Amino acid sequence: MNVSQRWVSLAGRVLLSSIFIISGLGKVTDPAGTIAYIESVNAPMPQVAYAVAVFVELVLGIALLIGFKAKFAAACIALFTLATAFMFHSNMADQVQLIMFLKNITIAGGLLVIVAFGPGGYSLDHRR
């Protein structure tokens, strides 16, 4: 892997992980609001779903960012992202929800590239 590939793969991880880390921080600062939103779509066990969301977005998001167990983190985040697409953005008649659904599907695709090819350079998984 050459130097530009290392930097580009790091940039990709930064961009992919940022949405999850920022969203996770938002959930930590407003647990009641997040749980109410989860309840609004009739998701089962909203408190458990909240804890899972915080773990996936913050812990696994940071793991993806730094490239620690990146394939595992990316796979888990991809599954989470697909689940949230169908759970929270399934109203395809609403253009905003359709765009959010497609955004989630697209992000999951990017995460699957990391599952297939690894985190690239400048990661804890590939220290060089």
pLDDT in tens, 34-55: 999 999 999 999 999 999 999 9
pLDDT in tens, 86-123: 999 999 999 999 999 999 999 999 999 999 999 998 99
Within-domain flag for 127: no
Within-domain flag for 35: yes
128 has a pLDDT exceeding 80: no
Q: Across all residues in the chain, what is the average pLDDT?
A: 95
> What pLDDT, on the 0 to 100 scale, is given for residue 7?
94
How far is 25 from 53, CA to CA, in rounded Å? 11
Within-domain flag for 123: no
How far is 60 from 76, CA to CA, in rounded Å? 8
What's the pLDDT band for 1 if we cut at 50, 70, 90? confident
How far is 62 from 70, CA to CA, in rounded Å? 10
Within-domain flag for 16: yes
Within-domain flag for 108: yes
| Closest among 55, 56, 63 to 123, alpha carbons compared | 63
Within-domain flag for 66: yes
CB 67 within 8 A of CB 11: no
> What pLDDT, on the 0 to 100 scale, is given for residue 126?
79
User: DSSP assignment of 11-72, as one string?
Assistant: HHHHHHHHHHHHHHHHHHH-HHHHHHHHHHTT-SSHHHHHHHHHIIIIIIHHHHHHTSSHHH
Show the domain range for 78.
3-117
Q: In this structure, which amino acid lies at residue 29?
A: T
Within-domain flag for 82: yes
| Number of domains forming the structure of the chain | 1
Within-domain flag for 125: no
